[in-house]
Chain A
Amino acid sequence: MQLIRYNTPADLSAWTPFFRLSPLRDLLDTALERNGSCLGSDGPPLDVRVSDESVTVTLELAGMKKEDFDLLLEDETLTVSGRRETEPEDRRSQSLRCERFAGAFSRTVALPCAVKGDRVQAIYEEGVLTVTLPKAEEARPRKIAVKLN
């Protein structure tokens, strides 16, 4: 005997595999795995690194244009803000899934030391914004020669 899977007429007319199977896997993905995009009310994820020479702030946000970022340095505090737009709604297409964040965001970090405000460099590539802030002279480690009598 041959088994034929029963399909309701609605199922036959529209195959919606993204809806039918993916939600289960996605549920497992989000429940058991880490979610890649931390972007929510907290804004895009960032790292702060410190070396002898500089402070580096790295922020991950895919699909931006470099001119969409606003950087503000104020009293040893760096604020990165901006707005990300996703594709506008189109009458001819239907959105099946919308997980990417769209709208304004802002992150502020207190820098661990004084920096040279006029020598700050920001690069946006591969969806990662890297802001390099050279340390001010007084914040750099110095060698002090101690004379022993």
Chain B
Amino acid sequence: MSPIMETTKNKTAPSRVDFVSPAVNLRHDSDGYTLEVEMPGVAKNGVEITFDDGRLTLIGHRSNTAGRAGKLLHGEIQPYEHRRVFDLDPAIDPERIAETMDQGLLTLRLPKIQAAKPRKIAVA
């Protein structure tokens, strides 16, 4: 192939990424929110969490599955990246978001800013 052809090919090559929308559980308590996101096939270092303009984007990049040997006889697993976006409560403190990843289950703790927590007011 000539170099010119090659350049053209690279330029037009689509860089499309397919995503699936993972299932979540969300709980709310007086101190904040707990979000559980199912990302099977994603390692700890494959999770990408971005917080921008009140929006939380969670992306799970799958570990390399190219090593799986053999011919596919039956396939139900969707080999796409996981992605889901949430609008955050402005009371959440983005600096203190904590995450854990265990067996493909991403758990995020989204604590509220101190001032936003409910408090008891004593009547004098």
Binding site for B on A (CB under 8 A): 15-18, 20-22, 25-26, 29-30, 33-39, 45-51, 53-56, 58, 60-65, 86-87, 90, 92-101, 109, 112, 124-128
Contacts and interface: CB of A to CB of B under 8 A. Distances in A.
A123 to B, nearest CB: 12
B98 interface: no
Interface of B: 18-30, 33-34, 36, 38-43, 63, 68-78, 80, 82, 84-91, 102-105
B25 A60 contact: no
B27 A99 contact: no
Contacts of B86: 18, 22
Nearest to A55: B70
A115 B106 CA distance: 36
B71 A87 contact: no
B87 A18 contact: yes
Given A17-B89, A34-B78, 6 more contacts: A18-B87, A29-B84, A30-B21, A36-B23, A62-B105, A126-B40
Nearest to B84: A29
23 contacts: A18-B26, A20-B87, A22-B86, A33-B19, A34-B19, A34-B20, A35-B20, A36-B20, A49-B70, A50-B70, A53-B69, A61-B104, A62-B103, A87-B36, A90-B27, A92-B29, A94-B29, A95-B27, A100-B24, A101-B23, A126-B42, A126-B103, A127-B104
Name the residue among B18, B22, B39, B76 with the largest chain A CB count within 10 angstroms: B76
B34 A127 contact: no
Contacts of B102: 63
Contacts of B22: 36-37
Nearest to A56: B70
Given A35-B20, A37-B22, A126-B43, A96 B70 contact: no
Contacts of B72: 47-49
Contacts of A30: 21
Nearest to A110: B74
